Structures are given as C-alpha cells and as structure tokens.
Amino acid sequence: MSELTEAQALIERYRASYITVFGDPSLVLDHGDGAYVWDVEGTRYLDLLGGIAVNALGHAHPALVEAIRNQAGRLLHISNFFTTTAQIGAAEAILARADAPPGSGVFFGNSGSEAIEAALKVARRTGRPGIVAVEGAFHGRTTGALAVTWKEAYRTPFEPLLGGVSHVPFGDLDALRAAVTDDTGAILVEPILGEAGVIPAPDGYLAGVREIADDSGALMILDEIQTGVGRTGTWFAWQQLLPKGVRPDLMTLAKGLGGGVPIGALVAFGPEIAGLLGPGQHGSTFGGNPLACRAALTVLDTIERDDLMGRAVELGDHLAEEVLALGHPLITGVRGLGLLRAITLAEPIAPAVVAAARDAGFIINAPAPDALRLAPPLVVTAEELSTFTAALPAILDAATTKEAS
Ligand SMILES: *Cc1c(COP(=O)(O)O)cnc(C)c1O
C-alpha cells in the first residue's frame, strides 16, 4: 500500500472522528494571510469564498488579530448579568450603520441560525403565529430556522417542524399578497438568495414586500446574514434596494459581522418592535460576549476606515466585466452585488468547476449546479481577482474534460 500524504492521513482521522454531515473536506488548511490560505502541505490558494462570506477582513488581518489578542487578555466572557464597552459599542455601531431610529435594539447570539430564532420569537410575540418565507430561502439549520428554510432535503428528515410556515415563489408579489393573512406574524426574505445561488430580488420586490407587510400588519424580516456588513457595497443590502427612508422591521446578521469570530445579531427597528421581547423572554449564555463583540466592532470600524464597501462595488464590477469579457461559451452571466457574486454556467457542471478551480489554486463553491459563488474577503485586490479570471478558461476546460471522461 502506498503511503498516505499528510493531508490524506488527516482526512482519514477526520472521517474517523467527525459526524458525517459535510462529506469529506477537500483541503486541510493551516494558515492564511489576506485573501490567501495555505494547506498543511504548503500549497497556496486564493480564497474567493472567504469562509462563505465570513472572512470580511480576510485572514490574519492585523487589526482584528490585535483586537482579539487584546480582548482575550482582558475578558473573554462575563455572563449577561454584566456588560462591557465591547458589547455596548458593537450594538451602537450596528444601529448607527443601519440608520436605526431611537428605541431600536440589538440582540447578540452566536450564529445566523440563532439570529433567525430570535426573529421568529419576536414574530410570535405579535400574537399572529404564521410566517411566510420564499422558495429557495436558506435561514439555517436549527429547527426553527429550518422550518423557514426551503430545501426539502434539509427539512423533511426532521419534520414535524415549527408550524404555520408557508413558502411563496421568490420575486412574486401577487403570490406573497395572497399568502399573507391576519394570522401572518412576519414575512421573511433575503435581499439576495445566497444559498440558492446568489439570486438577487427583482427590482422593486423588497419595496413590495414592505407594502404588503404594512397593509397586513405583518412584520418584515430581512435576512442579511450573507448580504450584510458591507459586502454588497452598502452596510446592508436593503439600504440600496429599498426607497430612502424605508426599512425592514427586523434584520438578522451573522457571517461577516465577526470577521470569522462567531457572532449573530438581531436588529429590531424602533421601540415598538424592540419592545416585543420583554425581560426573561430570550437569552443566550455566550451571545454578546466581549470577544465576539470586540471582533465585530473591529470589523465594522475597519470596513469604514479602509472604505471596503466602496472597494466591494468597484471590485465586484471589475470581476463581472472581466468574466463577461472572456466571452466563454460556458459562461452565461454574472449576477449579485458588490463582492457577493455568482458566475452562471450553461451546463450543470459547477461542482466539477469548483474541483478544477481548487486544483488550479482557487477556492470558490457551487451553491447550485449551474452557479459558481464568489464571496471573497473585502480586502481582496483587483490583481488577485484578475488571476482567477485569467485562469478561468483553463479551469472550465479541465472541468469539462473531467465531466466527459
Ligand atoms: C448562512 C446563513 C444562515 C445561517 O447561518 P449559520 O451561522 O450557519 O447558522 C442564515 N441565513 C442566511 C441567508 C445565510 O446565508
């Protein structure tokens, strides 16, 4: 028998020790710097996925490393009997960037799913138990979040889930209006369907959702877990997708917020909605801990200081132009906003393209059979993105050859 490589041996150990929910990992990573990561054998990859829109500042960003190091030397955890300047500062920084009116509030959890669970509990407090979500939606894996997620393969093994949930086609306002009743506590949508393949809402859709929510008395919850924190070119995608002065009632955040440190947040706009959860009605042991909050504060400050939102717009456009300029017959388009993008393919070969890209030193993923997702660190450079575009024709060739064989 031939010797296993170091990475193969580690993947054997992973298989023997980890519950099989993800399949085999394709790399064993060791460290990173900026938009690059290195595996245990020293091979370098350009990380164009950023931990699925998480590593907003890239890997080992000096400001984030310093902030975490510092905070770790002061306080890691304190319980919710107490607070810290990190927790207060992070909540204030989110509210300010969300143009939230006085009386608004933030609740911190540790993940996107937890932010969704908190939003669902707020919706329940309206006294109207129904939730209308959309087909293609992804809101997380905890049982409440799973109930509002669309994909059957994720949901059905765990039924019965939370009741009162219905799904309507994304982008169809008539269907939404028909589905919302006096029992609907909330309408829940992503501004861009992330896991379904980076599918933007049609023009005017979110404004229509707002209108339907207002007409019916349901709350409008925007899931900005993937789109939020500057990635699309505004702090939150709704800030460019809703008319000025119009906002959701609730917004969920996670992924990019901690730059890689686990944190999720629910933002409730205005005193009426923030007041729906009263003392004792929700909680979290780790949520709002000083380490995660310090990380979030540092991410928000750094995005602002280095104008990473402006760069997200420029770099996203640069990427789209370069990819389309290839004029490759397999590439049908580029969709998304800022640095949350999908390259769409004429054939359902995205998983093979992801594998070929990895062999060529690039990390991307395939949220749909015909879509390649790029959600790189916001610190990626135009030159780094161009190395991918330049390599893409050969990557597509390699993928089609592999498919054919
Ligand atoms: C990732 C994601 C979630 C779930 O977040 P977790 O941190 O994995 O629980 C929910 N909604 C959207 C839009 C996401 O992209």
Asked if the domains 6-61+307-404 and 75-305 are classified in one and the same CATH topology, the answer is no
Q: What is the pLDDT of residue 404?
A: 76
Using the structure block, give the residue that is written with the tokens 């089609």: 400
Contact 271, 103 (CB under 8 A): yes
The pLDDT assigned to 100 comes to 98
Average pLDDT, the chain: 97
CA distances from 250 to 92, 105, 186, 352, 367 (A): 16, 10, 10, 38, 26
For residue 2, what pLDDT band results from cuts at 50, 70 and 90? confident
| High-pLDDT (> 70) share of the chain, % | 100
Q: What is the CA angle 40-42-45, rounded to 5?
A: 100
Handedness of CA 300, 304, 309, 311 (dihedral sign): negative
Judged against a pLDDT cut of 70, whether residue 221 lies above it is answered with yes
DSSP one-letter code for 379 = T
The domain over range 6-61+307-404 is classified in CATH as 3.40.50.300: no
CA nearest 38: which of 386, 392, 361?
361
Per-residue tokens: 69: 């190091």
Locate the ligand 1 atom nearest the alpha carbon of residue 190 and give its number: 13
Q: What is the CB neighbour count within 10 angstroms for residue 152?
A: 9
Helix (H, G, I), strand (E, B) or coil at 23: coil
CA 53 to ligand 1 centroid distance, Å: 10
Candidate from 146, 195, 198 with most ligand 1 atoms within 8 A of CB, to mutate: 195
Let me know if 255 is a catalytic residue.
yes
The three-state (H, E, C) secondary structure of 180-231, written as one string: CCCCEEEEEECCEECCCCCEECCCCHHHHHHHHHHHHCCEEEEECCCCCCCC
> Is 269 known to be catalytic?
no
CATH architecture of residue range(s) 75-305: 3-Layer(aba) Sandwich (3.40)
User: Would you kindly state where each structural domain of the chain is located, as residue ranges?
Assistant: 6-61+307-404, 75-305
**Beta partners for residue 363, in sequence order:** 47
CA–CA dist 293, 264 (Å, integer): 10
Pocket lining: 223 vs ligand 1, CB cutoff 6 Å: yes
Q: Look up residue 106 and give its amino acid.
A: V
Residue 346, pLDDT score: 98
Cα–Cα distance, 280 to 133 (Å, whole number): 28
- Ligand 1 center to residue 192 CA distance, Å? 13
Please identify which of the residues 249, 255, 370, 388 carries the catalytic annotation. 255
β-bridge partners, 133: 167
The 10s digit of each residue's pLDDT in 195-210 is: 999 999 999 999 999 9
- Reported as a single tens digit per residue, the pLDDT across 244-253 is 999 999 999 9
Told to judge if 138 belongs to the known catalytic residues of this protein, a careful annotator would answer yes
Verify whether ligand 1 is closer than 6 Å to residue 254 (CB atom): yes
Q: Is 260 in the pocket of ligand 1 (CB under 6 A)?
A: no
Distance 139 CA to ligand 1 centre (A): 5
Yes or no: say if 126 and 93 are a contact pair by the CB < 8 Å rule: no
Q: How confident is the model at residue 92 (pLDDT cuts 50, 70, 90)?
A: very high
Band of residue 1 on the pLDDT scale cut at 50, 70, 90: low
Q: Give the per-residue pLDDT at 3.
A: 87
Task: Using the mean position of ligand 1's atoms as its centre, give its distance from the Cα of residue 226 in Å.
Answer: 7
Per residue in 52-79, pLDDT tens?
Answer: 999 999 999 999 999 999 999 999 999 9
Residue 344 pLDDT: 98
Atom nearest to 53 CA in ligand 1: 15
Q: Is the CB of 140 under 6 A from ligand 1?
A: yes
3-state secondary structure of 340: strand
Largest Cα–Cα distance of the chain, in whole Å? 69
- Binning pLDDT at 50, 70 and 90, where does residue 403 land? confident
Non-local (6+) Cβ contacts of 203 within 8 A are: none
The predicted-structure confidence for 120-169, as pLDDT tens digits, reads as follows 999 999 999 999 999 999 999 999 999 999 999 999 999 999 999 999 99
Instruction: Tell me, in angstroms, the distance from the centre of ligand 1 to residue 156's CA.
Output: 19
Residue with tokens 């992801």: 354
Whether pTM > 0.75 for this model: the answer is: yes
Please report the pLDDT score of residue 60 as a whole number: 98
The pLDDT assigned to 402 comes to 79
